[in-house]
């Protein structure tokens, strides 16, 4: 769906516009910058922009790129919705995420009445749903720009049109095989960064909207990934998070296939990078090669976020997950045998259609056996367009709530016990920021992802500090340098 097939020729002369990317977007950044400068002169002040992110770390990384483009155009970045431009990068994994966006849009509509020059833009996964775009088109006519996940790289081009257009610009692609990198990014942290290694997902779990809104799997070449890591290292980054919807599928679609484990070996050789994380692996194809690479590595963090979703083999089959309860437990045993101190975290869904008390007890059994450091627990959310949303055997709300409370209590109990195993040890903590409650403390993370608070000052931020863990508070530690 696209409202602007011809708008570029209507708005700008085609002459001199590059066809190739990213040169084309660089051209439009300059075009938008001139428009922004003119508007700033009219207002007698610099233009301000705010980007709000909903959802996963893939979205967080996309927002860094969007901020980088806005910075190049000349906007001052801020955290205030009362700005000249507000961009929501949306998530649609759960219905609640959509409702949040609609709620904020109502507020923005009021702001725009006071500031008619304000630009309101929406992008991300939620915009890939046709019914959402139709609702915005009819109920939120004050929105200026709507685009999806596949053409985020075109932000400068779309914005330059929206800046001088008097109507809503909608540009949604159903899918793409394009990967456009080498665009500016404004990182949230100077010392750590996400690095996209692939986009999309081929798994089609029956509850999940992601393959429909993110498209099919597309891997970046290892050369492009390593080149980006080298640039980040040169810019002071010490920790990278390799990002993909299913990193274990990385490289299968390349002209010369490369395994994820092979990519990790290459990444280890990047000088200056001290920690390597990744998100998210899928249990169905987590290889022995990957476990061996992690076991022998000095840079890959001993943390595995391994989504379970359900402990019931029957439900796992209904979910189209391609593994069983027994297979998942065997995988966790294998990881712990190779790396006894590895931190295991997970995602669990409660109330999937057809879930019985017996199925739920299987989930509790896996939690007891694996003893996760922590778990993200979710109540099943019907997503229109997924197979599970149309099934008749939805679980009553009161039953789901009871199960969710029982699961959460067990996760917290086992998590607190498991997390305490490092008490008294001296370990490296990447100092991330001054503690918000107590400015005499610095907050950071161990390589296994546990949070630590310790005395210090802002000069430590971005460095890995040796800290003795003196007190465990369940899911976080206090320590001494």
**Greater pLDDT, 26 or 1:** 26
State yes or no: pLDDT of 466 exceeds 80: yes
pLDDT bracket for residue 7 (50, 70, 90): very low
Tens of pLDDT, residue by residue over 17-69, are 999 999 999 999 999 999 999 999 999 999 999 999 998 899 999 999 999 99
- In 3D space, the residue among 128, 61, 51, 65 whose CA is nearest the CA of residue 91 turns out to be 128
State yes or no: pLDDT of 186 exceeds 60: yes
pLDDT of the residue at 470: 97
- In 3D space, the residue among 199, 143, 151 whose CA is nearest the CA of residue 173 turns out to be 151
Q: Do residues 276 and 300 touch, judged by C-beta distance below 8 A?
A: yes
State yes or no: pLDDT of 15 exceeds 80: no
Tens of pLDDT, residue by residue over 369-400, are 999 999 999 999 999 889 999 999 999 999 99
User: Who's near 219: CB < 8 A, 6+ residues apart?
Assistant: 197, 198, 250, 251, 252, 253, 254, 258
Tens of pLDDT, residue by residue over 407-439, are 999 999 999 999 899 999 999 999 999 999 999
- Determine whether 102 is exposed, middle or buried from the number of CB atoms within 10 Å of its CB (0-12, 13-18, 19+): middle
Q: Do residues 343 and 298 touch, judged by C-beta distance below 8 A?
A: no
Q: Do residues 280 and 245 touch, judged by C-beta distance below 8 A?
A: yes
The pTM is what?
0.91
Residue whose structure tokens are 């990182």: 187
pLDDT of the residue at 3: 45
Strand partners, 255: none
Per the omega criterion (within 30 degrees of 0), is the bond before 22 cis?
A: yes
């Amino acid at each position: 769906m696209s409202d602007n097939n011809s708008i570029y020729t209507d708005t700008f002369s085609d002459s001199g516009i590059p066809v190739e990317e990213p040169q084309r977007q660089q051209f439009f950044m300059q075009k938008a910058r001139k428009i922004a400068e003119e508007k700033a002169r009219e207002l007698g002040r610099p233009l301000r922009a705010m980007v709000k992110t909903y959802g996963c770390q893939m979205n967080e990384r996309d927002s860094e790129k969007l901020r980088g483009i806005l910075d190049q155009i000349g906007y001052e970045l801020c955290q205030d919705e009362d700005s000249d431009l507000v961009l929501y990068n949306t998530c649609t994994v759960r219905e609640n995420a959509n409702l949040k966006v609609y709620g904020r849009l109502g507020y923005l509509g009021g702001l725009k009445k006071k500031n008619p020059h304000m630009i309101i833009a929406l992008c991300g996964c939620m915009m890939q749903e046709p019914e959402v775009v139709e609702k915005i088109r009819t109920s939120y006519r004050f929105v200026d720009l709507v685009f999806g996940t596949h053409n985020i790289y075109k932000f400068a081009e779309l914005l330059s049109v929206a800046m001088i257009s008097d109507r809503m610009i909608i540009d949604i692609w159903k899918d793409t095989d394009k990967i456009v990198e080498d665009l500016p990014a404004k990182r949230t942290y100077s010392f750590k960064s996400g690095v996209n290694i692939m986009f999309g997902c081929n798994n089609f779990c029956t509850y999940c909207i992601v393959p429909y809104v993110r498209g099919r799997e597309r891997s970046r070449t290892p050369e492009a990934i390593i080149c980006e890591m080298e640039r980040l290292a040169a810019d002071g980054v010490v920790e990278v998070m390799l990002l993909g919807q299913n990193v274990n599928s990385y490289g299968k679609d390349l002209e010369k296939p490369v395994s994820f484990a092979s990519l990790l070996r290459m990444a280890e050789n990047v000088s200056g990078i001290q920690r390597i994380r990744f998100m998210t692996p899928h249990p169905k194809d987590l290889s022995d090669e990957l476990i061996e690479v992690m076991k022998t590595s000095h840079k890959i963090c001993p943390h595995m976020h391994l989504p379970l979703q359900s402990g019931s083999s029957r439900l796992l089959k209904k979910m189209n997950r391609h593994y069983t309860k027994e297979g998942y437990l065997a995988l966790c045993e294998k990881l712990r045998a190779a790396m006894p101190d590895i931190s295991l975290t997970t995602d669990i869904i409660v109330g999937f259609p057809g879930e019985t008390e017996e199925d739920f007890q299987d989930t509790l059994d896996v939690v007891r056996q694996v003893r996760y450091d922590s778990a993200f627990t979710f109540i099943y959310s019907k997503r229109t367009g997924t197979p599970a949303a149309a099934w008749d055997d939805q679980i009553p709300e009161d039953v789901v709530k009871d199960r969710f409370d029982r699961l959460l209590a067990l996760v917290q109990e086992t998590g607190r016990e498991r997390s305490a195993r490092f008490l008294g040890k001296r370990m490296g903590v990447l100092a991330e920021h001054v503690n918000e409650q107590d400015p005499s403390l610095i907050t950071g993370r161990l390589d296994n992802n546990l949070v630590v608070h310790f005395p210090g000052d802002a000069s430590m931020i971005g460095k890995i500090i040796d800290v003795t863990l003196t007190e465990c508070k369940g899911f976080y530690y206090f320590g001494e340098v």
